[in-house]
Chain A
């Protein structure tokens, strides 16, 4: 239903003092750097990645908030990358977004009903009575039942989970076909998450909407999504059906992410592959494979050549040279536990420069009892 083709979003960064003095241009921040992704009707696709990897920027681009530098967004085959005015308004009716923070996305001075009715008024839909009916239906769908109990409340009279439901209702009141949900449960206690996730799964089942579920938590993605797309520094490095991707990851980054997911079962404390450092700065994307500065399986070729997407069948693809032959990934090399390598914590500029000589970027800690 929605298709992204080579989507790019770059932000201009202000020049640093040094750059001004030297008369250099500021490097642009390549927040989204060539994303191909498809979201079908009635499908939940999870977009997973570390902070700063470009998930939100991708989500915002889909709902046509924020700039798009290159590439295309297609809805049902029609290019919507540059639509404006009436067309854009009609598009936004069909593609909605909910944000991470249920505390910030609601206006404290407006009642639940007013809040949820707002998009209808903006779009000029229905008369008072019709709007009221649609608001009630949306609240009900979002699990705020009995509606009479919640309709006239204000945000401060709601719990975090209830607020997130109001946010969902505001997005669903227009009866969109696509919902972008940006970290919808990250701010909530684990005990409250299931309820919100259940609402999304029901919306998909009953209304057939497509959901792009943005999260940094791979276990949540695995739980709720049909397919998972793993993002690293602005690019989707691996995509595949949730179960398969988790069972048999074909990108070292996915494999590392999987190994650090905590399990409630202490007997399953696993061998964790902890990557050193954090996602490098998107204004300094490393040459070659963008993951090579942190990859435990890095080899010569990775420093110079950027791997393309390799199709692996079963709807899977991976952007790693090791996926080229279609074999499973080798195990990560074992290393004795040791101190974090200081070089990994240098500024990313340095990380990139040092890459060739950098210490191994991985520590494995065998935690099996």
Chain B
């Protein structure tokens, strides 16, 4: 049994016009002291997954199905009281842009002490203050600076304060939602190193959320690749780099420059993730996929497991665990348009004959369909 087991998680949000499924059947595990990356483009449901695990969804959101087992106990079914006790003490979260969440008129140290006093009634004010001092040193801030106000700290330091706060009640799992996205590379490296060290020293399990796979390759053991609310592929970072099976993973992998490797503009991914109000039929990636076939448009690909722990949902992957090249597949016209791109420029060009795809140049596909009309 893994520390955290997420099974078929479904999260819905109510909108004035109806309902949107932001997370649709997500399954993955996180073991003790394991670091798992959750990766995908903006809007693909990473934050929502994290909030659902924490049971911190906004008012209009709810877990519609699935379970989140922490140490064998289902957090989804848990009552509010016991749940509140687990939050921060068993699992905690560092939010996206959290450094701006500190209260500007309160001393930083008091803000970190608050959850300690709240969760551990036996701890005195003095004891909490001492613990804050230890936490500050743990995250590399001098304990003398507990009395400072947030504006006296840089962005990187404020982010470290948020990490200290997330660790205040000694959780066993921490979720970092883009904890370094707004920060400089050097500060990012400092924070990633800090998280890594905490993992090694405290046996902390971690879920790291980002749109940048290279950050995950640097810090995590395994990655879960999400697209449009679903899991496209899961595997170790090594496997996903050497042998990505899902075309989306492969594209994501090729989106980041790698100093010292070939100096070529990455292909990127044409188009952008779909609106989840009316997601594409079948495989949700099919409008942007250069491997897409008729079957992709009709049916959602079942998830299959290849090497232990390497799971993928894609019709182009054969039973032998190999992804067929576009040339081996009966492509949809839209996929052919993408596959025929001038490889040097790697930019879709507009084709507007019958049956061809209508593709906005470079990047922005405008609702292509197999019929070729937007």
Contact = CB atoms under 8 A, between A and B. Distances in A.
Do A and B truly interact? Answer: yes
A194 interface: yes
A190 B238 CA distance: 20
A266 B41 contact: no
Contacts of A143: 347, 360-364
A258 interface: yes
B189 A51 contact: no
B215 interface: yes
A222 B140 contact: no
B238 A267 contact: yes
Contact of B362 (A199, A217, A339, A342): A199
Contact of A260 (B185, B257, B269, B272): B185
Contacts, number: 188
Nearest to B223: A266
A193 B238 contact: no
A51 B259 contact: no
Contact of A194 (B145, B196, B258, B265): B265
B186 A144 contact: no
Interface in A198-219: 198-199, 201, 216-219
A333 B237 CA distance: 30
Contact of A345 (B142, B253, B256): B142
A275 interface: yes
Nearest to B138: A339
A192 B187 contact: no
A42 interface: no
A160 B363 CA distance: 12
A257 B186 CA distance: 7
B327 interface: no
A337 interface: yes
Nearest to A342: B142
- Report which residue of A160, A189, A367 has the largest number of chain B beta carbons within 10 angstroms of its beta carbon: A189
Contacts of A246: 259-260
Nearest to A275: B186
A329 interface: no
A224 B364 CA distance: 21
B337 interface: no
Contact of B268 (A159, A195, A339, A342): A195
B95 to A, nearest CB: 18
A274 B268 contact: no
B281 to A, nearest CB: 22
- Report which residue of A51, A224, A267, A365 has the largest number of chain B beta carbons within 10 angstroms of its beta carbon: A51
B167 to A, nearest CB: 14
B186 A194 contact: no
A202 B144 CA distance: 53
A86 interface: no
Contacts of B186: 50, 256-257, 260, 274-275, 278
B19 interface: no
B211 A190 contact: yes
B240 to A, nearest CB: 9
Nearest to B43: A189
Given A145-B360, A162-B364, A345-B140, A264 B268 contact: no
A159 B257 CA distance: 23
A246 B259 CA distance: 8
Given A189-B42, A198-B265, A260 B213 contact: no
Interface string B348-374: 001000000000111110100000001
Interface string A326-369: 00000000000101111111110000000000000001010100
B263 A263 contact: no
A23 interface: no
A127 interface: no
B366 A264 contact: no
Given A190-B255, A274-B190, A278-B187, A198 B362 contact: yes
A261 B363 contact: no
A262 interface: yes
A215 to B, nearest CB: 10
The contact size tier of chain A is 35 or more
A261 B259 contact: yes
A263 B259 contact: yes
B328 to A, nearest CB: 25
B43 to A, nearest CB: 9
A263 B183 CA distance: 17
Contacts of B364: 143-144, 159, 161-162, 195
B295 interface: no
Contacts of B253: 264
Contacts of B272: 159, 161, 192
Contacts of B71: none
B251 interface: yes
A296 B217 CA distance: 26
Contact of A262 (B140, B212, B265): B212
A269 interface: yes
A219 B257 contact: yes
Contacts of A276: 140, 190
B193 interface: yes
A243 interface: yes
A267 to B, nearest CB: 7
B211 A189 contact: yes
Contact of B241 (A242, A266, A365): A266
Interface of B: 41-42, 137-143, 145, 152, 154-157, 183-190, 193-194, 196-197, 211-215, 217-218, 237-238, 241, 251-253, 255-261, 263, 265-269, 272, 345-347, 350, 360-364, 366, 374
A-B pairs with lowest CB-CB distance, top 7: A340-B140, A194-B268, A195-B363, A260-B189, A262-B214, A191-B269, A342-B142
21 contacts: A143-B347, A145-B360, A159-B364, A194-B265, A194-B267, A198-B265, A198-B345, A216-B184, A216-B185, A218-B259, A224-B265, A242-B263, A262-B212, A262-B217, A262-B256, A263-B259, A267-B241, A340-B140, A342-B142, A345-B145, A347-B152
Given A162-B364, A194-B268, 5 more contacts: A223-B263, A268-B258, A274-B193, A340-B190, A341-B140
